[in-house]
Amino acid sequence: MATKAPFAFLVRPEEYAATPVPALSEWSSLWAAWDTVTRQMIPDDELLSKPIKLRNACIFYVGHIPTFLAIHLHRATAQGVEGLEEYKGIFERGIDPDVENPELCHDHSEIPDEWPAIKDVLAFQERVRDQVREMYSTRRVDCDGAVARALWLAFEHEAMHLETLLYMLVQSERTQPPNGTVIPDFEAMARESRAMARSNDWFDIPVYNVTLGLDDDEKATRSETYFGWDNEKPSRDVQVAKFSAKARPITNGEYAKYLEELGIETLPVSWTTSATKNGRGSTDGLILANAKRNGTHIKENKGDSFLDGKSVLTVFGVVPLKFAVDWPVMASYDELIGCANWMGGRIPTMEEVKAIYQYVDELKSKELGNKDGKKIPAVNR
Ligand SMILES: [Fe+2]
């Protein structure tokens, strides 16, 4: 309420993918989000650090995004951007866990002895963005299928990296919240969540036929269908057998209980036992100050002893685990399998997740229908 975000995350499909090609305004929104993360949340002296060992240094991603976009626009238009040849060798491809084994992993760009200066990388990024703007101002995007495909591919690529960069940054000790962000009152939120708590029931999901992927003929000169990546094509229909699913994801609280009961000592990487996040301290003081001001404070529960001394990493600093018990847990796939088994279930397959979405969609439509149903007799009377 106090600050206006420079970008918007749309939630309805007809808004976030109204047409196969993003509008220039959607690019502007994505760039604003990207700049917020890369220029405000990563301190300049942290650009060369690697928040997690399986990924590159942060500066790689600042260069990778415009380089990927420029490479695809160059393929579509044969127009290059100054600096592309040099940056292609450094920023074209990221790394994977199997980076050293060419049989398991594609080629990757060589890590240079010295990364280019950030101001040069940002100037290159601006030149590439200018090229995108030109595709719209000359209306080339409307009549050239190759340009349209390149823009969609690069747009989705950037949005995907925005998410992966954030999950890396949340694990870094030096990440900072964007300028002017108000630190949430985590204790009040926990209290509210506790007051509104509902049981996590099982739902029976009936048999569904779901479609995965999409059909996208790359040879078509101008496609009115949506574009897809190689592993999304062609579309395939799958029948999903009936199964039961819990209504919400595994929470930090459920995961904590699982660790405690089984005596597992390895914590997920999204948790920490240190009271402060190096360099910028904990939000603890702030949370307690908020509680004091509001005259409210969650009383220590005797049963919470396992939660004590543990915190969840966030971009605002560490938040005591006891205030985050209702948040979805962030843990590795293998860790979550263990917890799901302990809870009497398993992790759903991709197809089952689609079936859950379909089921929820139908439930919501029915709810809306019921509301309308109640109105119709009144209107008819
Ligand atoms: Fe990438």
* pLDDT tens by residue, 350-367: 999 999 999 998 888 888
Adjacent-strand bridge partners of 238: 210
Distance 154 CA to ligand 1 centre (A): 9
Distance 377 CA to ligand 1 centre (A): 55
Per-residue pLDDT band for 97 (boundaries 50, 70, 90) equals low
Distance 210 CA to ligand 1 centre (A): 29
Average pLDDT, the chain: 83
Distance 5 CA to ligand 1 centre (A): 26
Distance 11 CA to ligand 1 centre (A): 24
Distance separating alpha carbons of residues 89 and 64, to the nearest angstrom:
10
3, 36 contact by CB (below 8 A): no
Rounded to the nearest angstrom, the gap between the alpha carbon of residue 340 and the centroid of all alpha carbons in its chain is 22
Local structure of residue 44 (DSSP, 8 states):
G
CA angle 72, 124, 110 (to 5 degrees): 70
pLDDT at 105: 52
Which own/partner contact pairs does 138-141 have at CB distance under 8 Å and 24+ positions apart? 140/77, 141/21
Distance separating alpha carbons of residues 355 and 348, to the nearest angstrom:
10
Distance 365 CA to ligand 1 centre (A): 37
Per-residue pLDDT band for 280 (boundaries 50, 70, 90) equals very low
**Structure confidence by residue, pLDDT tens digits, 45-77:** 888 888 776 678 889 999 999 999 999 999 999
**Structure confidence by residue, pLDDT tens digits, 292-350:** 444 444 444 445 688 999 999 998 889 999 999 999 999 999 999 999 999 999 999 99
DSSP string spanning 206-247? Answer: --EEEEES----TT-SS-SSPP--GGG-S-EEEEEPPEEEES
Distance separating alpha carbons of residues 124 and 63, to the nearest angstrom:
8
Adjacent-strand bridge partners of 42: none
Distance 93 CA to ligand 1 centre (A): 6
Upper half-sphere CA count for residue 307 (Cβ side, 13 Å):
19
Distance separating alpha carbons of residues 11 and 191, to the nearest angstrom:
27
352, 240 contact by CB (below 8 A): yes
Distance 95 CA to ligand 1 centre (A): 9
Distance 289 CA to ligand 1 centre (A): 42
pLDDT at 107: 59
CA angle 50, 273, 311 (to 5 degrees): 90
Token pair listed for 228? 């897809």
pLDDT at 371: 64
pLDDT at 231: 87
pLDDT at 85: 94
Would the pLDDT of 277 be above 80? no
Distance 86 CA to ligand 1 centre (A): 17
240, 260 contact by CB (below 8 A): no
